[in-house]
Amino acid sequence: MTFRQFAYHNVIRNSRVYAAFFMASIFSVMVFFVYSMLMFHPNIEDQFLRDIAFGGMLIAEIILIIFTLFFLFYSMSAFLQARSHEFGILLNLGMEKQQLNRLIFLETMILGFISITVGIFFGYSFSKFFFMVIRELFLLDSLPLYVSWKPFALTILVFLSLFIIISISSVVFIRKKEIIHLLKGFGKHNEQSFKKWKALLGFFLLFAAYSLVIFSVFHMNVFLSFLIVILAFVGTYFFYTDSILYLLHIVRKRKSLYWHSYRLIAFAEGSIKIKENARMFFVVTIVSTIAFLSVGIVTSFTSFTAQYRELNPVSIFYSSDWDNPFEDEHIMKLSQELQNEGLSYELVKFNVKKQTSSNSHEQVNLIKESEVNSLAVALKIPLIDLREGEALLVPNTQEDFGSIRQEEEQTVLEESSVPIRIQGVYNHLIFPSLAIEKRAIIINDDDFNLITEPLLGFGIKESSTTFYAFHVPEWLRTKDVGTDLDKIMNETLGASGINPNSFYFVNPGLNFSIIRATFSLLLFTGLLVAAVLLLAAGSFVYFKLYTDLERDKKQYDVLRRMGVTEQELVKIVNGQLIPQFFLPWGLAMVHSTFSFLFLQAFWVDLAAVSIAMEMLLVLLAFTVIQVSYFYLIRWRYIAHIQD
Amino acid sequence: MPILALEDVTKVYEGKVAHLAINQLSFEVEKGEFLAIMGPSGSGKTTLLNIISTIDRPTSGCIMLNGFNPLELANNDLSLFRRRQLGFVFQDFNLLPALTVEENMVLPLTLDGQSVDVMKQRVREIAERLDLLPILEKRPSEISGGQAQRTAIGRALIHKPSIILADEPTGNLDSKAARDVLEILSQVNKESQTTIIMVTHDPIAASYCDRVLFIKDGEYFNEIYKDDRRQTFFQRILNVLSLLGGNVNDLSTIRLS
């Protein structure tokens, strides 16, 4: 057996111990590789998407690297600590420290090599699937699989250096110890080292953060969010290192609570596990919170989509004043672009007349009933049936449904002396919210024809406008239509909101695709990073359980002799496992709930969207995953300690 | 009526090579007796203790423990039976490292759902008797081997079991601590009439008992009763051990002066 074979056997024959670790690091490599596949994709033509893809993936990869570095370092030192007895024996048998270092280095590199190879293999296999999802999200025509050395080189380079850093630092960790310490293992269970002031500080910081959230629900202030994040961050740290131990200490002083059948063992063992894992709990909590949040925000986007559609029922809207020289040219161009994209559409043209209302002495826009109905047919909303003299108001924004009174209103269109009776508001939005500046009224066709007189002080031509409403069933695909018009609108409209052009153009599909792409990216990054994290945290718990198995087995053997029944044994196991699984979990949940409260308050100001339902679903889904993971691990653990 | 009766107990470990650990062993233990079981390595002592502990079942034969036949009890009842009737002392103490000395001792009572007042009172009594009062708040890692074993004895005694089973209780202790532990055990045996069954290698430890049962290769070999003087009892134990012809290492070289 050569030295290399020895290292190889050490890894391969311990594969059961390394299983969860492998799974987590392979998955991490895989996700990283898939990200880089997208990052270097040559076929994303759209400059905007290209920026998003590159920038977003870069950030995601950096987060992933930092996290993986932390995870690898933590697991490696735990692995080595668990094997310190073995290293002690090797040194005792006369192995040089130099050789031991080489052994550890070789083993880590074998681990790294396997993880990278398998991870890239799976990553490449799943790339096509990933691209399909991305294609759907970004509404790209095609996003083919490609072969390039770049993503491979990046992944191998990054992870190889990660593993080298890890193996060197773990060697340092072992080198400092004396043989006798290695043989005896490390001094464990020096507990009760919490500081009371730190414990109280932890509670105080968390409480302050939560109170500030409640406060900002009523008085929104974006700058508070920074303060809240910092408070919660530091508070969480102290919560794990001190506060929770302090709480347990208080409980343990109350003998009537503590000296109660299996609780005695469960509490004592639980507090040791918490103390050993405080830092890991902290990291898991923070990253889970971020993951929940990003997923939650993106999920809330679905409700935003529905609402957006409701607010912008017409896919492309173009209005033209009488003095617009480009009218025909623009409409021709839009139709052509829609045809080029292969999108079917219906175009409804509105001839709008302007008059003055006798009631308010303000200018109003008058729209023909039949034209509205032809749009209504296309949009599949109820038709209107107006008799002579009857009229309906066109709502401008969603709030109009509530604020405009539904009573009848008698008025006369002054110039043409046409009397109309406004019967309320048409209960569907038909035009984009900012498209029409004045009040718009739908009237009967006959009444419409009676309007012959021009607006006071204007010619007959000047007192009319034209609206063009394109209804495109696949409105999400219109993002390449009218991009130059959109550019003009963006440049001229500026911040003032006053339209200097003789036309107005809006394409909700285009605006939507930008918001959507950004959100989708957040979702993907959030989901995958969350998945990596869940696996890693789970693998860590599994590993810790596995290394403590011998000790735990012995302990349970003693307990069984002392007459602990199987049911009580399960309860004791629960007492040990539940904190490890659900403590970071629970705190992350509480954090997320408060963050959602804050976001909800923020969203209400921004877009009048309620995200409560989505958030609830996200939290629920994560809980289900976590609970099933817990049962899986518990099942394995109990099976191990019982044989 | 004997508190423990074994009748033709046989234990065979199945496996690639079937192994006969105990062969038709029969003996009785009276209430209040202090019995030592001696035998060379591999003679089946630990298996025997496991069978008496009810955590292992004999392949054949019958066992009666304080009027119960543990083989007839369901698993749960068996746990409850152990909890109330048996106390254990181990060679490597097996204290739970997470618990303090006091908590380790009350563990059997908490499992049995006693009230806190009863527990506190019992701990105080036992700790006083075993001289553990100053270290009640300490953890197992902070105390000496002798203290740890006294704590373990406290844990075995606290629920007033009918039988205490001790597996090499002095194996990990220095001579002074070993003597302390043995004296405590025999004192407990005399004062509270607690039956103690102790497996040991150490003839000195065995010399504290009322009777020593020797087994070899899982079979009954011999038994001797104590006499007035411990020294002569010790010599007789040594004589039997040399007859037993186990491994030389099994024989302690310590002699009482």
pLDDT in tens, A497-519: 667 777 888 777 777 777 777 77
Q: What are the b/e assignments for A61-74, b being 16+ CB within 10 Å?
A: bebbbebbeebbbb
Residue of B nearest to A187 (CA): B141
In angstroms, what CA-CA distances link A11 with A6, A15, A165, A578? 9, 6, 19, 30
Q: Cβ of A263 and B86 within 8 Å?
A: no
Average of pLDDT values for A618-630? 81
Check whether A240 has a pLDDT greater than 80: yes
pLDDT band at A118 (very low <50, low <70, confident <90, very high): very high
> So what's the pLDDT on residue A289?
82
Judged by CB atoms closer than 8 Å, whether chains meet at B98 and A269 is answered as yes
Residue A610: per-residue pLDDT: 61
Average pLDDT, chain B: 86
Dist CA A505 CA A520 (whole Å): 26
Q: Do B98 and A265 touch (CB under 8 A)?
A: yes
Asked whether the CA dihedral A404, A405, A408, A412 is positive or negative, the reply is negative
For residue A300, the model assigns a pLDDT of: 66
Q: Which residues of A touch B (CB under 8 A)?
A: 187-191, 255-256, 259-265, 268-269, 271-272, 554-555, 558, 560-568
Mean predicted confidence (pLDDT) in A112-134? 89
Say how far apart CA A223 and CA A191 lie, in whole Å.
40
Has residue A344 got a pLDDT over 80? yes
For residues A373-399, average pLDDT = 78
Cβ distance A255 to B96 less than 8 Å, yes or no, reads no
pLDDT tens digit sequence for B78-91? 888 888 888 999 88
Answer whether residue A471 shows pLDDT above 50.
yes
The number of C-alpha atoms within 13 Å of A566 and in the hemisphere containing its C-beta is 9
Nearest CA in chain A to B140: A189
Over the stretch A257-301, which tens digit does the pLDDT of each residue have? Answer: 777 777 788 888 878 878 877 877 887 788 778 777 777 776 666
Give percent of chain B above pLDDT 90.
12
pLDDT at residue number A60: 78
Which alpha helices (H) appear in A239-320, and where do they start and end?
Answer: 244-253, 255-258, 263-311
Q: Sorting pLDDT into bands at 50, 70 and 90, what band is B257? A: very low
What integer is the mean pLDDT of A415-432? 79
Please tell me the predicted confidence (pLDDT) of residue B248: 47
Contact A566 B76 (CB under 8 A): yes
* Strand (E) or helix (H) holding A403: helix A399-403
Residues 6+ apart with CB under 8 A from B256: B204, B230, B231, B234
Confidence band, pLDDT 50/70/90 cuts, at residue A130: confident
B216-230 average pLDDT score: 87
Which residue carries 């509105």 as its tokens?
A: A350
Token pair listed for A114: 């396997």
Banded model confidence at residue B57, pLDDT cuts 50, 70, 90:
confident
Q: Tell me the DSSP string of A12-59.
A: HHTHHHHHHHHHHHHHHHHHHHHHHHHHT-TT---HHHHHHHHHHHHH
pLDDT tens, position by position, A547-591: 778 778 888 888 888 888 888 888 888 888 888 888 888 888 888
Whether A538 has a pLDDT exceeding 80, the answer reads no
What would the two tokens of residue A384 be?
A: 């209107």
How far lies A99's CA from each of A51, A73, A161, A186, A487, in Å? 49, 21, 22, 22, 67
Contacting residues of B for A259, CB less than 8 Å apart: 103, 106, 109-110, 116, 119
Max CA-CA distance within chain B?
Answer: 53
| Cα–Cα distance, A538 to A535 (Å, whole number) | 5
Query: What is the Cα gyration radius of chain B?
Result: 18
Taking contacts as CB-CB distances below 8 angstroms, the residues of chain A near B84 are: 563
- Proportion of chain B above pLDDT 70, given as a percent: 95
* Per-residue pLDDT at A115 exceeds 70: yes
